[in-house]
Structures are given as C-alpha cells and as structure tokens.
C-alpha cells in the first residue's frame, strides 16, 4: 500500500490538497470534513430542539465509513476538481445514504434496531419521525446541491441529475424493490448482481460521476477522457462492496459489524455467500478489486498518477471488517 | 366568475395557450396534460410489471384536483412562460405531492386506508413497497426537472432549488413533523397557521414560484415585478386551502371526500374548526380568498389582465366540496 501512496506524492498536488499527507491522514481529514458538512446541513433551517432536525442529525452522525463522500473527493481530486463543488457533492451523497439507511431499518423493511452499535432512528425517535427524517434527508441532498452560489448553475443541475438518476426507481430505490421481491426466492448470480448494481452500486457510481462532473468545470477534456475508466472502477468496487457485505454478514459477529449479523440467512435472502459459499465469494471480491485497480491503470495522465487514493479506497472496501 | 373568465379572453394569449377556452376547459386540458406527464414519468426506466413502478403509477394516478400543477401553469402562463419548462415544473410538484400522500397514509402516520375513494398505496402494495414508492416519487420529481435538455441548466438548478427548499425540513416535511408533535395538544391559531404554512403552504407557494421562475427565462423583469404579489396570493390560498380542508373534514361525509371524514376530531388534532368553529372558519376562508384576489390586482400589466385563471383557482380552492 505504501508504494501507491508514495506514487501519489510524486504527482502534482490535486486542487485543495497541497499538504497531502499519507492515505490515512487524508481519510481522517475528509471524514472530519464530511462530519462538519453534515453538521452544517442537518438541522439548518429548523428551530432549535426540533425533533425532526435531531432525528436527521442523529441519522447523519450514525454514518461510519463515509465511503461515498470519500469516493467523491478521491475521484474529483484525481482530476483536479474544486473544493466547494466537491464538498457539496460529497455531502449530498452521504445525506442520501443516510436517508436510505433510516428507511431500510424501519419495521416494514429490515426491522433493524441496531446500526453501527447504536439504536436505529425509529427506535430512538419513533417510526413516524424516522419516516420524515429519511424523507427530509433525501430532500436536503438536493438543497445542498442547489444552495451554494459558488457552484455554477449548470454544475448544480448536472449534480442534481446524476444524483436523482442514481437514487430513484431506476437506481437505488428500484434495487431495494427488487430486494424486497427476492426475499425467500432463489435468485441466480446474474439477478443478484443486477439487484445490487442498483441497490448499492448506483449511488457509489454516482459518487464517482459527481466527482468527475465537478472536475469537468475545471478540465472538461480530462474529465471526459477519464469517465469511462472511473465508471468501470466504481462498478467493480460497488459489487465488491456488496460481496464483502455478504461475507461479513455470514462470518462476523454483531459487535464487530455494529449491526445484527446473520440476518441475511435468517431472512432467506439471496446473497453471494448463499450462491457461492464464503470462500468463492471472498475470491470474487479479490477479483473485483483487481479489475478496479486495472481500470485505474487505464486512466490518462495526469489522472493516473493521482489515482493512488482511489486504489487505496478500493483495497479498503475489500479488506474491511465491518 | 364568468366576468373574470371573459376578462382573460381580452388579454393577449399566454405562450402555449393560443386557443384558450373558458376556465373549465383550460382546467380539463391541463389536468389531462398532468395525467399524461405523470404517465410518462412514472414507471419510465423500470422493467415492465415492476411492482415499484406500478405502485408509483397508482399513487400518481390517484391524484384528483391537480391543484399544484394548475398553479404552476396558471402563474407561469400569466407571465408568458414556456411550455416544456412549465410542464416539467407542473409534473415535479405533483410527483412530490403524490409522494407526500403515500407516506402520510402509512400506518405509522395517519394510517389511512382510503384516498379519493380508492385503497391507499400501502393497502394495495404493502407497506414496504409504499415506502419505496414514496421515496422514488420524490426522487423522480428531481429527475424530471433535470432530464429535459430543452430546459436551460440554470432554470433546472433554480427549479430544483425552489422545490427542495419547499419540500424538506424547512418546508413540507418540517410541517408534518410539527403536525405529529401537535396531535393531542392545544395549538393556538398562530401555531396552527405556522404548521400549515409549512405542511401544505410551502409546496403551493413553490408551485407559484416555479411558474414564475419559468417565466423568468422569457421576461425576467416582469417575473421579478410579479413575484411578491404572487407569493402573497399563494400564501393566502395555501392557508385558505387548509381552512377549507378542516371545514370539510368536520362537515362532509367520507363518500363526498373520498377519504375517511371526521378523523381530525377523532385523533384530537388541532384544526381551524376546533379553534374557531365551522362558521368562523368558513368566514376566514372567504377573507383569505378576498386577500388572494387583492394580491392579483396588485400585479403590473400585462400580468394583471392575464390573472383570471389564478383568480378562478383561488375561488375553486374555497368553493370545493372535496
């Protein structure tokens, strides 16, 4: 891993990234920035002590790995993107992710009481408030994308369009509906991949594409040249992410996961582990990682030499324990 | 009422409105167009026979009066706005309205089984699918606003921003949260007005503002001159709409309403009728109508002479029986 990081040190620094340290300190810095942005945008415009604002803030604060914002920043910075636009995009994808978790956890969906070791939003604030908090978190994502006058309006529109296409019936929500229909039924590998490509993959791909869109304001030609390879990268790590999720659900305990383990098998859900077994699923995740890294090698310069963080993020997806 | 309509006949025809007939035929035409737009945008991008697409389509088709799209068209056309942009805005506000009804009807919220005389979405498709359908209807609104290349990107961004600000925690969802908190508690008139100003008023105001924004692409000066008066108009009819809703809930039967009547009193909800009595509430609605009509009289020409449909819509809000 250290070679990738040092490769990055020889590259011209990406915009807003002059004192690039190693990968871990970059992650820590960006995770802190995500938290700061979510704090700023969750609860704003609400009267103090509003339960809706509190529930939104609680839901957003529950977020752990901030994988989607990290992908926005890493892909955008790899192509030299601008700070304010990337911040808005990073915040928006995490707000959408937070909304999807709140609604996923509801009794009528997964009925989960624990998320990252904490009571889920409906356990803490009641079902009705959790429903509204999820709804309002989704809306807030579009507010964040359209409320910063520093962002050119054409970029605001493009980011809203990319996010909406990824989140709705053709993307995340559609994948969740397929997941609902699949419970207790035998899906084949292709159907399972398709479902996850929408359920979790669409937002991960959108994170990368939104980073690229921000960069397109600065260097449209480079952004265009890089889009296909970065989309392949995002597709591979999106699927790897899900395969690893299934492996962890089948093999880790609830304390490590911070959520209820073993629920997939219990609910008769189609998973990569159920179809392939744990070992073959792990091998699949490693293969997807290799493909994602190959996609980064296809990037034209100077993006390729700046892609170390994207490579590290891919490795982190596969190596994670929760 | 017929004088207002004939006044409009003497006015220059608004864009896309060359064969303007009387008010009723304009309404019928626009309601049909709303239906057509919703048909086009609900279910698109989904595989045929997808339960999510069906639930979204069912929810959108349940819509009755199409008050919000009518407000978009009437305010935009009053200022000479363009067809494609108004269509997108009209469709988007109705998609958001449909989403809010689906989620409002859920068991953890109002637990309503009947909407416009039909089974509610969760009764028909199950709670989980209704949750997702509401989520995806919200997203679809932003997709519609950003997917038509005929709309200038700056207008797309502006429409997304207006819609998001009206729908989220500072607007509709925030009002719904206040409503939740208010159940069983005694609100005073000001608190009740504030709650409704967000819960239903924000989206009605956004409908008018989105119409004005579309017109701003064609005649920015006129749009700017008209915005304040039209916002007052929207504020007054928004509140009138809610007062009339409360009167109808207290005085009409379920068959006329197409939903369960008398639920407000049963649930101990704060209403204008509970605070003022039926007669004073009716008088309040009439007064708000008068204020709304006065706001239209403040419009500069040529908007003022084209405002007959906005006046008729205001009268319809107060005179409706369901």
CB A237 within 8 A of CB A67: no
For the residues B270-296, what does the mean pLDDT come to? 94
Q: How close A304 comes to chain B (CA, Å)?
A: 31
For residue A111, list its beta bridge partners. Answer: none
Q: Is A22 on the interface with B (CB under 8 A)?
A: no
Residue B17 banded pLDDT, cuts 50, 70, 90: very low
- Residue A269 vs residues A110, A186, A199, A275, A283: alpha-carbon distances, Å: 11, 8, 14, 11, 21
Which of the four pLDDT bands, split at 50, 70 and 90, describes residue B273?
very high
A53 touches chain B (CB under 8 A): yes
- Identify the structural domains of chain A with CATH numbers, from first to last: 2-319 (1.10.600.10)
How far does B64 lie from chain A, in Å, by closest CA? 23
Question: Tens digits of per-residue pLDDT, B116-167?
Answer: 889 999 999 999 999 999 999 999 999 999 999 999 999 999 999 999 999 9
Weakest-pLDDT range from A25-34, B207-216, B250-259, B281-290: B250-259
The helix/strand/coil state of B121 is helix
- Supply the DSSP string of B265-297, one letter for each residue: HHTT---HHHHH-HHHHHHHHHHHHHHHHHHHH
- In the predicted model, is pLDDT for residue B57 greater than 60? yes
pLDDT on residue B6: 32
The pLDDT of residue B256: 65
Nearest to B162 by CA among B251, B225, B72: B72
Residue B134 to residue A136, Cβ atoms within 8 A: no
Query: Which pLDDT score is estimated for A14?
Result: 45
Average pLDDT value over all residues in chain B: 88
Q: How many residues does chain B have?
A: 322
Chain position carrying tokens 């490590």: A256
Contact status, residue A123 vs residue A107, Cβ threshold 8 Å:
no
Distance from CA of B173 to the nearest CA of A (A): 6
Q: Which residue of A has its CA nearest to B56?
A: A169
**DSSP H or E run through A71:** helix A67-78
pLDDT along chain A (322 residues), means of 10: 33 40 90 94 65 94 89 97 93 98 96 92 97 98 96 97 96 94 84 93 97 96 96 96 91 66 69 92 95 97 96 91 66
**Distance from the A124 Cα atom to the nearest Cα atom in chain B, whole angstroms:** 15
Q: Are the Cβ atoms of B169 and A56 closer than 8 angstroms? A: yes
Interchain CB contact of A48 with B (< 8 Å)? no
CA distances from B126 to A109, A181, A239, A251, B133 (A): 11, 12, 29, 32, 11
Q: What is the pLDDT of residue B7?
A: 34
Take residue B132 and report the two structure tokens written for it: 């997702």
Q: Which residues of A touch B158 (CB under 8 A)?
A: 146, 153
Predicted confidence at residue B249, as pLDDT, reads 86
In this prediction, residue B19 carries a pLDDT of 37
For range B260-280, the mean pLDDT? 80
Q: How many CB atoms lie within 10 A of CB B177?
A: 28
Question: How many Å apart are CA B57 and CA B66, to the nearest integer?
Answer: 15
What is residue B63's predicted lDDT score, i.e. its pLDDT? 72
Taking an 8 Å cut-off on Cβ atoms, the answer to whether B103 and A131 are in contact is: yes
Residues of B in contact with A174 (CB under 8 A): 45-46, 50, 52, 136
When CB atoms are compared, the residue of B53, B138, B177 closest to A52 is B177
Partner B contacted by A183 (CB < 8 A): no
The whole-number pLDDT of residue A251 equals 82
Question: A134 and chain B: CB distance < 8 Å anywhere?
Answer: yes
**Chain A within 8 Å of B159 (Cβ-Cβ)?**
no
Most A CBs within 10 A among B41, B157, B167, B182, hence the mutation to make, goes to B157
Per DSSP, the three-state class of A277 is: coil
Does the distance separating the beta carbons of A127 and B46 come in below 8 Å?
Answer: no
| Residue B45 with chain A: CB contacts under 8 Å | 168-170, 174
Token code pair at residue A38: 């979510």
What local confidence, expressed as pLDDT, does residue A44 receive?
52
Contact B69, B304 (CB under 8 A): no
Residue B204: pLDDT band with limits 50, 70, 90: very high
Q: Calculate how close chain B gets to A52, using CA atoms only, in Å.
A: 6
Measured between beta carbons, which residues in chain A are less than 8 angstroms from residue B56? Answer: 169
Whether the CB of A91 is below 8 Å from some CB of chain B: the reply is no
Copy the structure tokens of residue B14: 């608004």
pTM of the model: 0.90
Rounded distance between C-alpha atoms, residue A275 and residue B182, angstroms: 50
In this prediction, residue B67 carries a pLDDT of 95
Q: How far apart are CA A317 and CA A321, in angstroms?
A: 9
Mutate to test the interface with B, among A40, A44, A54, A135 (most CBs of B within 10 A): A135
Banded model confidence at residue B16, pLDDT cuts 50, 70, 90 = very low
pLDDT at residue A6, as a whole number: 32
Report chain B residues whose CB lies below 8 A from the CB of A154. Answer: 153-154, 157
């Amino acid at each position: 891993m250290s070679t990738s990081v040092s490769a990055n040190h020889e590259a011209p620094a990406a915009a807003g990234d002059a004192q690039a340290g190693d990968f871990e300190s970059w992650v820590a810095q960006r995770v802190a920035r995500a938290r700061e942005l979510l704090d700023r945008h969750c609860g704003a415009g609400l009267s103090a002590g509003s339960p809706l604002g509190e529930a939104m803030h609680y839901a957003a604060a529950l977020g752990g790995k901030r994988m989607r914002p990290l992908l926005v920043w890493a892909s955008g910075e790899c192509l030299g993107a601008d700070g304010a636009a990337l911040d808005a995009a990073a915040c928006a994808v995490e707000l959408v992710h937070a909304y999807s978790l709140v609604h996923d956890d509801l009794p009528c969906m997964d009925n989960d009481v624990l998320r990252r070791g904490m009571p889920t939003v409906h356990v803490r604030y009641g079902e009705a408030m959790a429903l509204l908090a999820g709804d309002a978190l989704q809306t807030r994502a579009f507010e964040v994308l359209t409320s910063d006058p520093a962002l050119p309006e054409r970029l605001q529109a493009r980011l809203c369009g990319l996010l909406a296409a990824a989140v709705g019936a053709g993307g995340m929500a559609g994948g969740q509906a397929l997941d609902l229909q699949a419970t207790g039924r035998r899906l084949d590998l292709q159907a399972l991949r398709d479902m996850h490509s929408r359920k979790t993959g669409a937002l991960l791909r959108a994170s990368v594409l939104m980073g690229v869109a921000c960069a397109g304001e600065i260097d449209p030609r480079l952004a265009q040249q890089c889009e296909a390879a970065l989309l392949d990268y995002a597709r591979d790590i999106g699927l790897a992410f899900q395969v690893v999720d299934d492996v962890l659900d089948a093999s880790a305990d609830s304390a490590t996961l911070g959520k209820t383990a073993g629920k997939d098998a219990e609910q008769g859900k189609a998973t990569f582990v159920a179809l392939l077994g744990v070992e073959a699923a792990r091998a699949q995740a490693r293969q997807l990682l290799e493909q994602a890294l190959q996609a980064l090698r296809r990037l034209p310069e100077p993006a390729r030499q700046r892609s170390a963080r994207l490579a590290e993020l891919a490795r982190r997806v596969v190596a994670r324990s929760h």
